[in-house]
Structure 1
Amino acid sequence: MKIIYEDLPVIHDSGEILQDTTDWRTFKLKSTAVSHAMNYTDEVRSERILDCGSLLAFGVSNSGEKRLIKAYFCKDRMCPACQKRRSLVVFHQVKDVCLSLQSEYKSTQYLLLTLTVPNVSAADLSDEIKKMNKAWASLSRRAEFKKSIWGWFKALEITHNKKTNTYHPHFHVLLAVPAKYFKGQNYINHSRWLELWQLAMKNDYITQVDVRRIKPNPKRSGSTIEAAAAEVGKYATKPSDYIKKLSKDRYVADPTVVGELAEILKFKRLIAFGGRMKEHYQKLKFDDVDSDSVDLVNVFGESDQVDAVVLQMYKWNIGLKQYIS
């Protein structure tokens, strides 16, 4: 639900430092580091990331509860703040798709399948991702797969190995299966998943896949569905791979890794739904998370509204490195 706040009194220039459940300050510092690193290869993207989140507007209740209602997000795939917002959208889309599927097929259970390939150089990464997507399309069309799997959600993740300066692309795949899958003749065991992935990739050097049944996380409140969504609602890249903390107020990003990943991820689809999960995704008419039009302000799962009494504006203060009202 989008709430209209135009009639509320506006607070600004109060000198108040932003306090919120989201650590906006750290995201801004990390985004600034990525912007500086990007400046070596793409000044336009660098400026856009630097401007990201410079102004945040919150509806604030009498008790001090805040809800973000307006902000400029650059939506660049290398921006840590926008990555986090996208991951929240993915989490809640996957969760709601699973809930919708479960309402129709109550016996649905979930598996997390992780498909890997050997590490590759930056020069080979783009082609390797294309091969992986082609291989997944081939695997998911197999009769064996279709007999066993009701639906799926696939997300690409890329990690960087600093020691070897190579990249590790891999898929996190959420599989929806009937409860009888685990005891029926259509069960696919670990060794068979590995064989299927090797065949699809046409690569015998692949030595491991991981497949496991998803169960509620004792450290996280919520259902099995929320646990499943949390497993796949992650960054496409890990900012910790290329951002280093130098002090409380300063982060630095590796310009080479930032530049390589920025170029490789450009225009690539990072997530996809299939089977019955795709049917329910389409029925729910969600935004395309991979698109630049996705709404990163009204993120699902945040309070739909607060009993706001004021609209409070916070601006990023470069000198103080804080959001100040």
Structure 2
Amino acid sequence: MAGYVDTQRQPKKRPDIEKTFTNLKQCASYLVFNDYYTVDDLRLVKAHTCKQHLLCPFCAMRRSGKFVAKNLPKVEQVINENRSRIPALVTFTVKNGPDLRERFNHLRAAHRRLNQRRRNHLNGKGHTEWSKVAGGITSYEFTKQDEGDWHPHIHALVMLDDFIDQKALSAEWLDITGDSFIVDIRRIKSNPNAGGLDIASGLLEVCKYALKFHDMTLPDTWHAYQTLRTRRLVDSFGVLRGVQIPDNLLDDPLEGLPFIERHYRYHHHKRAYDLQEVRHDVGPDLPAFGHEVRV
């Protein structure tokens, strides 16, 4: 991706593209992990991150994981406060189209009209199936394969006071969009490995990559970035209002525990990381020493 952005710097250099290129090229060029061996916990504590999640798969992955870590406690708290509510995943789509900006504006306008119907209903005006949602977290996602059109859609993790009539909401969505009726609703199920409801997987589904990098060409990814970079693509409302978008993509260190510090550096000609240095027994009241390790 950095190589492609490099081609966009010429012939006239633009400061914004220069900065994007530099940050993207340096992203994840080195990684420092703390291995807290006494509790079997490995954390990424130092790295250069470009924070351009619409261009960089590394930062998109880190952002998604950090988003879940920050917001999972809030979602679980809302569930525990009212056990009768039903956690569910909802997906809204609109008709595919060749113009990303137009399709995004269309989807966003339809989403706003749906939320306005919910607010009107709560104020005693009109009816909407969406009023059964006590709150939710929503995100926009965009896909495109080869020469096909853009496929925009919305993922939402919602808390339902009553289960939604899918056919009724589908008809309502068609009335709002004028071109689309596909609405998918799935209840979040229990997962024994998750110790109950698998809310973390639901959050990951909602706030995974806004763009599917492996399905898109570099020019399409760059076009999507240029179109969407100033847009708000994640939002929340109702009882889940106030979600936190992570600024820091690194892990928080564990205080008071010894750890082994591992330094890795990326080598472009190998397309791989080399372990450069290991510092053993770093921690409180412990001497630190290091040695070079070449792989």
Q: Does 1:298 align with 2:251?
A: yes
Task: Work out the CA distance in 2 between the residues paired with 1:305 and 1:267.
Answer: 37
Q: Work out whether residues 114 and 130 of structure 2, in 8 Å CA contact, stay in contact via their aligned partners in 1.
A: no
Q: What are the superposed Cα offsets for residues 71-108 of structure 1, whole Å, 9 maximum, x if unpaired?
A: 11001121000000111122234422211212322222
Q: Does 1:66 align with 2:42?
A: yes
Matches within 5 A, 1:154-169: 154-162=138-146, 164-169=147-152
Q: What are the superposed Cα offsets for residues 157-190 of structure 1, whole Å, 9 maximum, x if unpaired?
A: 111122x431101000111013xx13xxxxx311
TM superposition shift of 1:259: 2.0
Task: Work out the CA distance in 1 between the residues paired with 2:89 and 2:135.
Answer: 12
Q: What are the superposed Cα offsets for residues 121-162 of structure 1, whole Å, 9 maximum, x if unpaired?
A: 1xx211221222222122122213564110011111111122
Quote the residue 1:261 is aligned against.
224
Quote the residue 1:274 is aligned against.
237
Task: Work out the CA distance in 2 between the residues paired with 1:113 and 1:309.
Answer: 42
Q: 1:105 to 1:131 in 2, by over 3 A?
A: same
Which of structures 1 and 2 has the larger relative contact order (alpha carbons within 8 angstroms, sep 6+)? Answer: 1
Q: Work out whether residues 66 and 306 of structure 1, in 8 Å CA contact, stay in contact via their aligned partners in 2.
A: no
TM-score, with normalisation over the residues of structure 2? Answer: 0.78
More moved, 305-314 vs 83-92 = 305-314
Post-superposition, which runs of at least 4 consecutive aligned residues in structure 1 deviate over 6 A? Answer: none
Match of 1:150 among 134, 142, 150: 134
Task: Work out the CA distance in 2 between the residues paired with 1:73 and 1:222.
Answer: 33
Quote the residue 1:28 is aligned against.
none
Q: 1:255 to 1:238 in 2, by over 3 A?
A: closer
SS of the equivalent of 1:171 reads strand
Q: What are the superposed Cα offsets for residues 3-34 of structure 1, whole Å, 9 maximum, x if unpaired?
A: xxxxxxxxxxxxxxxxxxxxxxxxxxxxxxx1
TM-score, with normalisation over the residues of structure 1? Answer: 0.71
TM superposition shift of 1:233: 2.9
SS of the equivalent of 1:277 reads coil
Q: What are the superposed Cα offsets for residues 28-58 of structure 1, whole Å, 9 maximum, x if unpaired?
A: xxxxxx1112222255223321100112122
Q: Percent identity?
A: 25
Q: Which one has the largest radius of gyration? A: 2
Match of 2:101 among 100, 109, 126: 126
Q: 1:93 to 1:140 in 2, by over 3 A?
A: farther
Equivalent residue letter for 2:250: V
TM superposition shift of 1:305: 5.9
Quote the residue 1:248 is aligned against.
none
Match of 1:41 among 3, 8, 12: 8
Query: How many correspondences in the alignment?
Result: 255
Task: Work out the CA distance in 1 between the residues paired with 2:222 and 2:202.
Answer: 32
Match of 2:85 among 108, 129, 150: 108
Q: 1:323 to 1:236 in 2, by over 3 A?
A: same
Q: Does 1:95 align with 2:48?
A: no
Quote the residue 1:312 is aligned against.
262
Task: Work out the CA distance in 1 between the residues paired with 2:221 and 2:211.
Answer: 10
Equivalent residue letter for 1:255: L
TM superposition shift of 1:210: 1.1
Task: Work out the CA distance in 2 between the residues paired with 1:48 and 1:322.
Answer: 19
Contiguous gaps of at least 5 residues in structure 1? 1-33, 183-187, 243-253
Equivalent residue letter for 2:173: W
Equivalent residue letter for 2:189: K
Quote the residue 2:111 is aligned against.
136
Contiguous gaps of at least 5 residues in structure 2? 10-16, 122-127, 277-295
TM superposition shift of 1:222: 4.1
TM superposition shift of 1:223: 3.0
